[in-house]
Amino acid sequence: MKPILSMLKIIPILLLSVACAENENIKPHIPQPEPVGPKEYSFSTTPSWVDEFDYEGLPDVKKWGYDVGSQNNGWGNNELQYYTEADLENASVGGGVLTITAKKEDFEGFGYTSARLVSKGKGDFLYGRFEVRAKVPPGKGTWAAAWMLPTDWAYGGWPASGEIDILEHVGYDQDVVHISMHTEAYNHGINTQKTATKKIQNATTEFHVYRVDWTPDYIKGFVDDVEMFHFVNEKKGYAVWPFDKRFHWLLNLAVGGDWGGQMGVDEGAFPAKMEVDYVRVYDLQ
């Protein structure tokens, strides 16, 4: 009887051992953590700084000043215009738009006049959504731009402190618009600039909305709410990413220059007009 009892005691142990062995081969279902994607930022729905150009006369002095002079002042790209100050012939507001006009006329030793509006000291920003609704001029030799430069130049002169180009258009390449970023590591001087281009069939005859979303981690560029540019903060210092300091707006229409004048200048294209329906800034939330 004892051997039988011993066997009866062993059988449950064997069954338990088999069950445990089988369970060891069954891996528990532990869901894998979802990969962490890049942070997406949001912006206020109401602009914190805006010019709707719903008045008449000169641009609002509370929002805009002027860069006055020419490339002889130490800036410019071998352009042919002299930028005037508070001259209705070159910068005026009426009919709900700002009009910047480049004219063929002799002034201060230059053959053209135009205007370059700046918000420095009146609208300086660190991060946000920057939006401009504009119509650019046709014609060889025109070079229209809505862009941003550093207010404090904390990392040194161009391009070390950066440049944000929200809209650029040169008339010899009609309806092709550009969004670009320039830094010490990435700039057109060494042909490494970060640029996106888009062909718009009616950029010179209709208004379009040009925009950048500037955050601590990326800058995205859009035309009519369609993303066309994405520049990521590589976390490698100011030479790659100087965009942690204040910047301000510039609106201007240049004539000729290293880029705008590559195919010559059609004198018949002047006076040329860049029209701006509004400029808006939305805070980063």
* Residues with active-site annotation: 163, 168
d(CA 66, CA 61) in angstroms, rounded, equals 10
**Exposure of 199 by Cβ count < 10 A (0-12 exposed, 13-18 middle, 19+ buried)?**
exposed
- Nearest-5° angle of CA 83, CA 264, CA 110? 30
CA nearest neighbour of 270 among 168, 76, 137? 137
- Nearest-5° angle of CA 53, CA 55, CA 58? 85
Instruction: Tell me the Ramachandran region of residue 264: left when phi exceeds 0, alpha when psi lies from -120 to 50, beta otherwise.
Output: left
CB 166 within 8 A of CB 147: yes
CB 117 within 8 A of CB 252: yes
